[in-house]
Structure 1
Amino acid sequence: MACSQRPRERMPLPRNAKMLSTKQSRAGKAGPAAENVDPEKEESCHAKRSSSSPQGGPKKRSAFGDITNARKNQVVAGKKEAVKIAPPKAQKAHNALGVAKNNEINLKKSMKKTPPTAPAEPRVDPGPEKPVSVQELKPPEQRQVPAVEDIDKEQLGDPYANAEYAKEIFEYMREREEKFILPDYMEKQTDISGDMRAILVDWMVEVQERCPPCVDDFLYICDDAYKREELIAMEMSILSTLKFDINIPIPYRFLRRFAKCARATMETLTLARFLCEMTLQEYDYARESPSKLAASCLLLALTMKNLGGWTPTLEYYSGYSAQDLHPLVKRLNFLLTYQPRDKLNAVRSKYSHRVFFEVAKVTPMDMLMLEETLTSS
């Protein structure tokens, strides 16, 4: 009886047991509200707990792995560890591959240092030796590399230069000049002879003006030998015969472009124009193509003034090499030296004026010296 009435001694509860009872009582009070707990918050709450919790600690719910990605993270972590730690066989294969690469690199380095000697080729007779030019005798750093200059690049902003279409325009003119190559028409001509033609051209050079003359001026020059109606009728007949195709390529247009390629001064260009106009009176030059005549006149002018020969830029834009022009250049120099028409000197008088730099007074080149200069260039 005494024992039964003695108050029961309370045993000290474990530390974790108290926490468990407290949390269980709180969980019991929460009731239905526990179902509305955010899974992410719940996961973060459990993630903060240490895996080495004291014995008797609460265990994770079995459903925790179903609603979170904790198990997936463990699988991924396991895979990463498996990649880092390779099995012994794979490690040996990896080491063998590295050794093979090192051997290949060392082999390439050794081949660069000591290149293999190629087998000696059979000796071939080179034949007769070719003459070596002065350019080839110079050291490599002093040799001039031939380059073609873009002569239209500087005038791309000038609307009057037509730089964007200049190359195509002159290619079109080169095609058209083939259509206007004159045949030997003097044999069929019964009205005038070669001497009469020269007198007519000399007179036309003398009476030309910078501005186109009107009909009354032509009547005055002819000393009223023709009436106005006759002059206009003849003009209409000429245009009809030519089918109004009067845009004929002439040497003057080509000469101006070629002089631009050579960057020639106005004095050098004027000298070339003088040589070109000297051929107007000579019937033999009437059948030369305008572009070739212009190129030959410029080459002779450059040679007379000792300004160099035919450059790659001139060859590119003209379409003629220096060798193509040499025969015509010699003929031009011969005409300048031994012109037989002393009375027909309208062209010489014109270019003897200071406005034209008095280029008609330039001494022609000696024929032998010209031959040597053209051959050496």
Structure 2
Amino acid sequence: MVFPSRCVKQLGTDGSPSVGSHTLSSAMPFVRGTRAAVAARCKVPDGVDCDKQPQEEQEVPNSKRSTSPSYGAPELKMRKALVDMTNAHKVHISFPGRQKKTQQQQVKKTSAPSLSEKSQAEQQKSSSESTEGKSSEEEKEEAEAEAAPAGELAICHVQPHLLRPQIPSEFDVDSGSRDDCFMSHEYAKNIFDYLKSREEKFVLPDYMCQQPNINVGMRAILVDWLVEVQESFELYHETLYLAVKLTDHFLAQTPIQCDKLQLVGSTAMLLASKFEEREPPCVDNFLYVCDDAYNREELLCMETRILQTLSFDIGIPIAYRFLRRYAKCAGVGMDTLTLARYYCELSLMDMELALERSSLLAAACLLLALRTKNLPVWPPILQFHSGYGISEVAPAVRKLYSVVEQSPSSKLKGVRNKYSHEVFFRVASLPLVEFDVLEKSL
């Protein structure tokens, strides 16, 4: 099963006429300009027509008054269409140094006709119910707030789970980017803790036993082809990792035919591009790299199918994000990070490593890169930010070592050719550390 490799860069895409006040007075609504002219000409009390109406109209007591501009219109009084739309009377806010108003002071406003007697009664009833329903803790807080000295500000109590984690100074790696608003140094630790907690929702099972028409070799060929597509379209690495995740989670729930596997992979890449890229490639680009094996309707139908299968939740944590975070915490150079990225991309083609959690896989890739570069293997700062000890990472490191060791003899050369380029420091040609040396570190 060989996928076409022809790829291209993204393809380019390409008021009403004025009328007299008396001409259509009976058919048109009241005109503001005419009303102002009539009001200026007739200065009479409200409710009294300035022009005498015909005798027949005055004799009929139940006749409707004309709203024509020619007869003038009375001034309309402003009134509220809906009374007391807010629930302010149900909210109780107490400030230190400010005495609590009595219920009569809150409700009694004789000069304002906005509330009727009925609404005032309902307000009193609701306020009394809210007062009776208060717990003893709320009453205690109100008493403390009233007893506070005047001029003191209200205290906002933050719940424990909303507090920022306390990071020791020796493990603080984000304070240096305080001036860069894009780094979000205040929330960096919270963000990656949240991504790690979301991995519980995206635990991938071994789904190959549920796919009678495909196998692990076909999946490896698909991932190798997606690496070439990502490099040809110059997409982000996050797009590649997310496309592989979307493919795996879709295949874990939906059996497909082998001739539709490439359609699933290209559609997953399209979805990942929409999620990650600033300017994602268009549909025609993905149809072209598939050598027109599918039409536009099939790809769009598969896109809808994948989204519905995954319940539109495609924000899956990927190993590449954790890997960059761990490399920053360890303070390693770009060459060491690129070597870890090479190991991490090789792991995408292995089904056994695809079942590992992204945060744990990223830690294993960085540990193997550190050992290959003869750097400190797992300093305490990595254990603090990753949450993994070296004993927890060791099983994944052994699996990764076997995959990297077998990569030169593999027929799939996409990842190896990519990281043999000088842009990536030719890390694919670096010798792998001896297994005995690695075992001593583990």
TM-score (norm 1): 0.59
How far off is 1:244 after superposition?
1.3
1:242-295 superposed Cα distances (whole Å, 9 cap, x missing partner): 111111000000000000000111111000000001111111111100000000
In structure 2, C-alpha distance between the alignment counterparts of 1:176 and 1:192, rounded to whole Å: 29
Q: Secondary structure at the match of 2:337?
A: helix
Q: Summarize deviations over 1:1-21 as a string: whole Å, max 9, x none.
A: xxxxxxxxxxxxxxxxxxxxx
Residue 413 of structure 2, aligned match among 329, 341, 345: 345
Decide which of 386, 389, 407 is 1:318's aligned counterpart.
386
2:203 is aligned to 181
1:202 is aligned to 2:224: yes
Q: How does 1:135-284 map to 2 (within 5 A)?
A: 148-208=170-230, 209-211=233-235, 212-284=280-352
Structure with the higher fraction of residues in helix conformation: 1
Q: Equivalent of 2:396, from 328, 344, 347?
A: 328
Percent of aligned pairs sharing the same letter: 54
Distance in 1 (alpha carbons) for counterparts of 2:377 and 2:302 = 46
Contact 1:334/1:367, CA 8 A, preserved across alignment: no
- Counterpart amino acid of 1:163? H
Gaps of 5+ in 1: 1-145
- Determine helix, strand or coil for the equivalent of 1:323: helix
- In terms of Rg, which structure is larger? 1
Write out aligned runs for 1:76-95 (5 A): none
- Cα distance in 1 for residues equivalent to 2:399 and 2:303: 35
Q: Which consecutive residues of structure 2, in runs of 5 or more, have no partner in the other structure?
A: 1-167, 236-279
In structure 2, how many angstroms separate the alpha carbons of the residues matched to 1:191 and 1:165?
Answer: 45
Residue 150 of structure 2 corresponds to none
Contact 2:336–2:369 (Cα < 8 Å) also in 1:
yes
CA–CA distance in structure 2, aligned partners of residues 344 and 182 of structure 1: 24
2:350 and 2:403 in contact (8 A); partners too: no
Name 1:102's counterpart in structure 2.
Answer: none
Q: For 2:415 and 2:338, how far apart are their aligned partners in 1?
A: 12
Q: Which residue of 1 aligns with 2:83?
A: none
Q: What one-letter code is carried by the residue in structure 1 that aligns with 2:207? A: Y
Structure 1, residues 73-102: CA drift from partner, whole Å, max 9, x if none? xxxxxxxxxxxxxxxxxxxxxxxxxxxxxx
> TM-score of the superposition, structure 2-length normalised?
0.50
Question: How far 1:213 moved relative to its partner?
Answer: 2.0
The one of 356, 369, 374 equivalent to 1:306 is 374
Distance in 1, matches of 2:341 and 2:289, equals: 26
- In the alignment, the residues of structure 2 paired with residue 199 and residue 335 of structure 1 have an alpha-carbon distance, to the nearest angstrom, of 15
Change (3 A) 1:305 1:313: same
* 1:155 CA displacement: 1.1
- Partner of 1:171, secondary structure, is helix
Looking at structure 2, the residues matched to 272 and 240 of structure 1 have their Cα atoms a distance apart, in angstroms, of 34
1:331: how far off? 2.2
Q: How far did 1:147 drift?
A: 7.3
CA–CA separation in structure 1 for the residues paired with 2:402 and 2:410: 15
Q: Secondary structure at the match of 1:325?
A: helix
The Cα RMSD (Å) is 1.6
Partner of 1:17: none
Give the aligned length: 229
Q: CA deviation at 1:340?
A: 7.6
- Deviation string 1:103-157 (CA, Å, 9 cap, x unpaired) is xxxxxxxxxxxxxxxxxxxxxxxxxxxxxxxxxxxxxxxxxxx974201111122
1:215 Cα deviation after fit: 0.7
Amino acid at match of 2:438: L
**Does 2:364 correspond to 1:296?**
yes
User: Distance in 1 between the 2:292 and 2:223 partners?
Assistant: 20
Cα deviations by residue, 1:281-317 (Å, 9 ceiling, x for unpaired):
1111111000000001001101110111211110000
Q: Distance in 1 between matches of 2:225 and 2:196?
A: 30
Q: Distance in 1 between matches of 2:357 and 2:406?
A: 23
Contact 1:201 1:281 in 2 (8 A): yes
SS for the counterpart of 2:171 is coil
Q: Hey, what's the Cα distance between the residues in 2 that align with 1:188 and 1:366? A: 37
- Name which structure has the greater RCO, CA cutoff 8 Å, separation 6+: 2
Separation in 1, partners of 2:209, 2:320: 27
Describe the superposition over 1:31-84 as per-residue Cα deviations: whole angstroms up to 9, x where unpaired: xxxxxxxxxxxxxxxxxxxxxxxxxxxxxxxxxxxxxxxxxxxxxxxxxxxxxx
Amino acid at match of 1:153: S
1:371 offset after TM fit, Å? 1.4
